[in-house]
Amino acid sequence: MKTQKNLSSRLNEIDGKGYKAYKEIKGEYDFDTFILIIDHVQGDPFAVPSRIRVRIDREKSGFHADTTLNKSRHIGLCDFLTRVFFENCRKLSKGGRGSGKSGLIVMDRPVQEMLPRSAVVINDSFLEARFFMGLPAFGRKIAGEIASDMFMKELPEIINCSLFMNVLDRESVYHHIKTAEDADFLREELSRKGLVSFIAEGAFLPRASGINPEPMDKKKIIPFRAPDTYSIDITLPNKGKISGMGIPEGVTLIVGGGYHGKSTLLNAIEFGIYNHIPGDGREYAISLSDTLKVRASDGRSIEKTDISPFITNLPFKKDTKAFSTQNASGSTSQAATISEGIEAGARVLLLDEDTSATNFMIRDRLMQELVEKKHEPITPFIDKVRQLYIEKKISTIIVIGGSGEYFNVADHIIQMKEYLPVDVTEKAHQIIKQSPLKRKKEGADTFGFISERIPLKTSFSPLRADGKTKISADGCRGIFFGKDLIDMGDIEQIVTESQTRAIGYAIHLAMSYMDGEKTMREIVDTVIQSIEDRGMDILTPYITGDLAGFRKIELASAINRMRRLHIRQKNYSRL
């Protein structure tokens, strides 16, 4: 193996040469305390920065076995080290030296959520950090002296401040990993206790803004407080006993006036599928992992999806058991998303009336009088939501402020009143009993079956017009896959572009399991299990540090939004 001196000498030799000479430094170098691995050298200073790794012997790193004792702690430790390395890059790297991305040293940006990532990998033998460096140049001439400073001074300092236990705050490390462990334990407790979500006493739920997921200034927040009727205690392995609001299975309404915190509570439930970092305020705001946010998405594509539980008898006898369109309406998009969610294994649905199609949610008594059911193909969600729970054990939480008709179908009704929850179930049910006017129930007496679907491999191609593979993220809400852009604007539970990027590569991996017989559910389950068994490196043809974990629900959702998608349905059967 080459040494640190070899790299220093080579950088000195290529100083001032054309940028392509940087290709000569690719390889592995022994820096005594770590191994430097230069996997890929960028083609010019304006291109995507070079992919770099450093590997440290696990024993020398000082992270004892108890820091990765289980999956929760393992993810928590990798997340902690990613954050420390990222921050030290910002502090110690002197970017902006030369053309393009010259002088940049950066790791994948962490978010408020603790996610499995490819940025830091730990096993019994070694700890490995994956990051990116903008190799410096003036114009397209190599700036060898600056490059030498980056590799010989800045990078070792970042590594020495980030990846060894003896330089880190031990209490902070263990607090981070124990927070992850407690959150996962709490999530497992939900099912055992018949709950779909839990919000701890004292949680800080509001975010700084719609585009900033960090907590709002805590001086301006009213800490969460559970109503007595929903208050439960849970004992965690590290923190001990905590109290909070447990939302039971079934149909739950979140009601209240505008600006009283309804959507804030739903947002906390929505992102309770993830573990959050200490100090986020939502560390113990936990939801079942298979929770799906559903919203209307005008214009999305739908391919042979069974939406017949919600929509039947369309004009011109259009088939709703195998419904296809390139331009869905709001109501058909929500119907499709729910059917696809059931297909992918969703156990909880979240809806907010503000982002839902009105005609999908409700048809009131007066409209029923004016437009007869035989002329209305849509069976509104209000007439299906209880059937979903009774027949399929799928719970629903709905934020609603405009239709009291939902009181009829709700098991639990929580009013947000000046940002605090109040149990108003009994009061709402009493109002229903006293109301003389009732709408007619519409639709069949059962929810109905959802047909299983088989994605056809021939409809997938990652190749561009020039024959080269193109898979990349377009922010958090889009994937370039070959010639196509997959619009994921309505898939709201993705929190970082790194997840979107990983989903793009996971679609490519999914193609290898498409044999014309496996269903969508079987394919996405197999992909997730493959990642679980072999790690995220299975997704890409090269090692990279900018991938993050995702759920099978998001993978299926992305596939379902491919406009070239072709599906073959199995015989209609119960899922």
Residue-wise pLDDT tens digits, 319-370: 899 999 999 999 999 999 999 999 999 999 999 999 999 999 999 888 998 9
3-state DSSP assignment of residue 423: strand
Residue 497 in contact with residue 115, Cβ under 8 Å?
no
Which one, of 1, 20, 32, 29, lies nearest residue 148 by Cα? Answer: 29
Residues 6+ apart with CB under 8 A from 166: 62
Q: Where are the alpha helices (DSSP H) in 119-212?
A: 144-149, 155-162, 170-192
Q: How many angstroms separate the CA atoms of 186 and 236, rounded?
A: 7
Q: 5: exposed, middle or buried (C-beta count within 10 Å: 0-12, 13-18, 19+)?
A: exposed
State how far the Cα of 252 lies from the Cα of 9, in Å rounded to an integer.
67
In whole angstroms, give the CA distance from residue 519 to residue 510: 11
Helices 520-534 & 552-560 angle (0-180, nearest 10): 130
Listed by start position, the domains of the chain span: 2-168, 178-286, 291-434, 453-569
* DSSP H/E element including 500: helix 497-511
Q: What is the DSSP letter of 463?
A: B
How far apart CA 429 and CA 409 sit, in angstroms, is 10
Decide: 350 and 397 in contact? Cβ < 8 Å: yes
CB-based contact 500:532 (threshold 8 Å) = no
CB-based contacts of 568, cutoff 8 Å, min separation 6: 304, 453, 454, 456, 516
Contacts of 18 (CB under 8 A, 6+ apart): 140, 141, 142
- Tell me the angle at which helices 330-344 and 552-560 cross, rounded to the nearest 10 degrees: 140
CA 38/CA 263 separation, integer angstroms: 46
Contact 303, 565 (CB under 8 A): yes
What's the confidence (pLDDT) of residue 454? 97
Cβ atoms within 10 A of the Cβ of 316, count? 4
| Residues β-bridged to residue 114 | 275
Which residue's entry shows tokens 């229903």?
A: 432
DSSP state, residue 49: P
Q: What interhelical angle do 497-511 and 552-560 show, nearest 10?
A: 70
Torsion, Cα 367 373 376 381, to 10 degrees, reads 80
CB 416 within 8 A of CB 230: no
Phi, psi of 75 (to 5 degrees): -65, -40
Low-confidence stretches of the chain (pLDDT < 50) are: 572-575
Helix (H) or strand (E) holding 54: strand 50-57
Q: How many DSSP H helices and E strands does the chain contain?
A: 15, 28
Beta-strand relationship, 35-40 and 195-200: unpaired
C-beta of residue 68 within 8 angstroms of C-beta of residue 122: yes
Residue 449: partners with Cβ closer than 8 Å, 6 or more residues away = 306, 572, 573, 574, 575
| CB atoms near residue 421 (< 10 Å) | 22
d(CA 115, CA 547): 10
What is the pLDDT, as a whole number, of residue 571?
67
Strand order in the sheet with 240-248: 231-236, 240-248, 195-200, 285-287
Contacts of 90 (CB under 8 A, 6+ apart): none
Cα–Cα distance, 548 to 539 (Å, whole number): 11
153 DSSP 8-state letter: I
What one-character-per-residue DSSP string does 322-338 give?
A: TEEESS--HHHHHHHHH
516, 566 Cβ separation under 8 angstroms: no
